[in-house]
Structure 1
Amino acid sequence: MELTALHLLLWFMVAFTSTAQELLSLRVSPKISAVCGQPVSLHCEVSSSQHGLSIKHMEWYHNNTSLCTMNSEDKNPIINPGFTVSDFDCKYHQGKLTLIFKKLQPMDTGDFGCKLRSNKGTRVKSTTVELQECCGQVEGVMEHGRPTCTFTHVYPDGEVRWFQGSHHQKLGQITLKNVEDGGWLTIQSYLEEKKTGLPYNCSLWSTETDRYITSTLVTDLDNSSVSRSPLGNGAGSQGRTLIDLIVTVLLVVTLI
Structure 2
Amino acid sequence: MKNTKNLALLALIAVAALVQISFVKNDLSKKALNWKTGVALYSFNKFSFAETIEKADSAGAKFVEGFFFHNLGKDFNGHAIPNLNDEEISKMKSMLDKKGIQMKSLYSGNGKNLEEWNTYFTFSKKMGIEFLTCEPEKKDWNLLDSLAGAYKMRIAIHEHAKGSSYYWHPDSVVAAMKGRPNIWACADLGHWVRSGLDPVKCLKTLEGRIICVHVKDLDGANNLKANDVVAGTGVLDYPAIVKELKRQNFNGMAYIEREGNWNNNMPDVKQALEYLSKLSR
> Shared fold by TM > 0.5?
no
More helix by share: 2
Determine which structure has more spread, i.e. the larger CA radius of gyration. Answer: 1
TM-score, structure 2 normalization: 0.20
Whose RCO is larger (CA < 8 A, sep 6+)? Answer: 2
